[in-house]
Amino acid sequence: MTKENSNKMWGGRFEDKPSDIMEQINASIGIDKRMWRQDIRGSIAHATMLSQQGIISKNEAVEIVNGLNKIAEEIKSGNFEFKASLEDIHMNIESRLREIIGDVAGKLHTARSRNDQVATDFRMWTRGAADELVHLIEELQGALEALAQKHKSDIMPGFTHLQAAQPITLAMHLGAYSQMLERDKGRFIDCRARLNECPLGSAALAGTPYPIDRKFTTEKLGFDRPISNTLDAVSARDFANEFLFCAAQTGLHLSRLAEEIIIWATPQFGFIQLSDAWSTGSSIMPQKKNPDAAELVRGKCGRLNGNLIQMMTIMKGLPLAYNKDLQEDKEPVFDSFDSISLCLQAMKGMLESATFHTDAMLESAEMGYTTATALADWLVMNLGLPFRDAHHVTGAIVKMAENKGCKLDELNLSDMQELNPAITDEIFAVLSVKK
């Protein structure tokens, strides 16, 4: 007989209750309660399948499903008490089901283990998260594309080594980020496709002797197919690693854009001004307007990368099949989802409400001798100079402009002809950035 003190779910052979610290280290309810919808959906599919297969009766299934729906209502309305003593979301729900419908609740766990249950819930959750992130990425791309449209002929310096290199358009610059995001989106879509296989029916590790119908639950839960190897089904978490990488890579792309916004927003650059809604002031320096949201997007990379390393480290060397280490899988995934969702939305908000100082961008492109490469190419194409020689002559022309404190297109033809007499006034066609 189970002692009064021991766990009602698995305490048959136990006489004592766990120590307080054991309860604390063992409990995951604070984290995994986020999967309550998936858990209830999975249980409803499982109970329905059990009755269709004659493993439990129709009436029992109806009672179980009604009870689960009632629990869903309780959780939705905030009237459900989550208990750490019941470890996780699975046992919290099952225990409440027993309170509502009595002992028949115990039949729900026939032909199932928490090991296949949690793997099923977690895959469903991650699948939904990937879908949501694809949507948020598309929203940000929409904002970038609208800005690119607006600034398709606004000139700015393109940089290498953060030194003005060649003139480009602001549209080109923003378009580069939209393409990075397109690949990020593709990665989430791939991740989702690979993870969308159903572990349910694997039970603890070795399958189950009951005549279950895995095809039914697989379809009911929106999976593409059941996972054939039951050990793999309960212990694989590469889908979590993959999701975490997708999030980290997206964050990494956003951090590059964030860094540029931060640089561009300095008075020294003056390329962009963030709206008040997306900046903060300094409590001591009244003149300041800080790009905090951009800095936080850049800073969130720390946790996004950390979560990936954390999960990969949990998995390293883990023997088959289920081990409790796996319970540590949800926190990094939830955290990366929350973080990258915020970053994508913040980036969209910042960009949409920012003012781009295209006059300052143009001026900077003109000041930086960014047409020097075009000049060298002109010398090659029109005078037949070898590129290295053209490069040398161009360098001398840039130095001349520097000495005179003028732009390249403000130089005199005769001055340039001192460096190469074959130069004609057609050269002016390539000296201004607008060309």
Measured CA to CA, the distance from residue 318 to residue 232 in angstroms comes to 12
Q: How many residues bind ligand ARG (CB under 6 A)?
A: 10
235 binds ligand ARG (CB under 6 A): no
> At 156, which helix (H) or strand (E)?
strand 155-160
> At 225, which helix (H) or strand (E)?
strand 225-226
State both tokens at 50.
């059990």
- Give the active site residue among 6, 90, 161, 414: 161
Residues 343 to 382 in contact with ligand ARG, rule: CB under 6 A? none
- Closer of 322 and 337 to ligand ARG (Cβ): 322
433 binds ligand ARG (CB under 6 A): no
- Closer of 146 and 318 to ligand ARG (Cβ): 318
Kindly write out the interface string for residues 77-116 of this chain, putting x where it contacts ligand ARG by CB under 6 A and - elsewhere: -----------x-------------------------xx-
Interface stretch with ligand ARG, choices 299-307, 322-330, 344-352, 406-414 (CB under 6 A): 322-330
CB of 313 to ligand ARG, least distance (A): 17
38 binds ligand ARG (CB under 6 A): no
State both tokens at 426.
């057609």
- Closer of 45 and 272 to ligand ARG (Cβ): 45
CB of 91 to ligand ARG, least distance (A): 8
- Closer of 32 and 366 to ligand ARG (Cβ): 32
- Closer of 114 and 185 to ligand ARG (Cβ): 114
Q: What are the DSSP calls for 246-313, one per residue?
A: HHHHHHHHHHHHHHHHHHHTSTTT--EE--GGG-EE-SS-TT-EE-HHHHHHHHHHHHHHHHHHHHHH
The CA distances from residue 179 to 43, 246, 250, 407, in Å, are 41, 15, 12, 34
Interface stretch with ligand ARG, choices 66-74, 154-162, 225-233, 324-332 (CB under 6 A): 324-332
Among 156, 227, 294, 326, binds ligand ARG (CB under 6 A): 326
State both tokens at 69.
């729906």
394 binds ligand ARG (CB under 6 A): no
124 binds ligand ARG (CB under 6 A): no
- Closer of 125 and 356 to ligand ARG (Cβ): 125
**Which is nearest to 119 in space by CA: 49, 204, 192, 45?**
204
CB of 322 to ligand ARG, least distance (A): 5
Measured CA to CA, the distance from residue 435 to residue 167 in angstroms comes to 10
Collect all residues with Cβ–Cβ distance below 8 Å to 411 and sequence separation of at least 6: 397, 400, 401, 404, 431
| Other Cβ atoms closer than 10 A to 25 | 12
**Residue where the block lists tokens 């984290």:** 31
- Give the active site residue among 6, 77, 282, 283: 282
- Closer of 115 and 169 to ligand ARG (Cβ): 115
Q: Phi, psi at residue 225, to the nearest 5°?
A: -165, 160
Measured CA to CA, the distance from residue 241 to residue 195 in angstroms comes to 11
Examine the residue annotation and report whether 282 is marked as an active-site residue of this protein: yes
Q: Are 178 and 253 in contact (CB under 8 A)?
A: no
Interface stretch with ligand ARG, choices 320-328, 334-342, 364-372, 424-432 (CB under 6 A): 320-328
Among 327, 339, 370, 420, binds ligand ARG (CB under 6 A): 327
118 binds ligand ARG (CB under 6 A): yes
Examine the residue annotation and report whether 253 is marked as an active-site residue of this protein: no
CB of 123 to ligand ARG, least distance (A): 13
Collect all residues with Cβ–Cβ distance below 8 Å to 297 and sequence separation of at least 6: 251, 254, 255, 257, 258, 343, 346, 347
Q: Phi, psi at residue 238, to the nearest 5°?
A: -60, -25
| Other Cβ atoms closer than 10 A to 19 | 10
CB of 231 to ligand ARG, least distance (A): 14
Judged by DSSP in three states, 317 sits in coil
- Closer of 34 and 98 to ligand ARG (Cβ): 34
Among 36, 223, 271, 322, binds ligand ARG (CB under 6 A): 322
CB of 26 to ligand ARG, least distance (A): 9
Give me the active site residues, please: 161, 282
Residues that bind ligand ARG (CB under 6 A): 28, 32, 88, 114-115, 118, 322, 324, 326-327
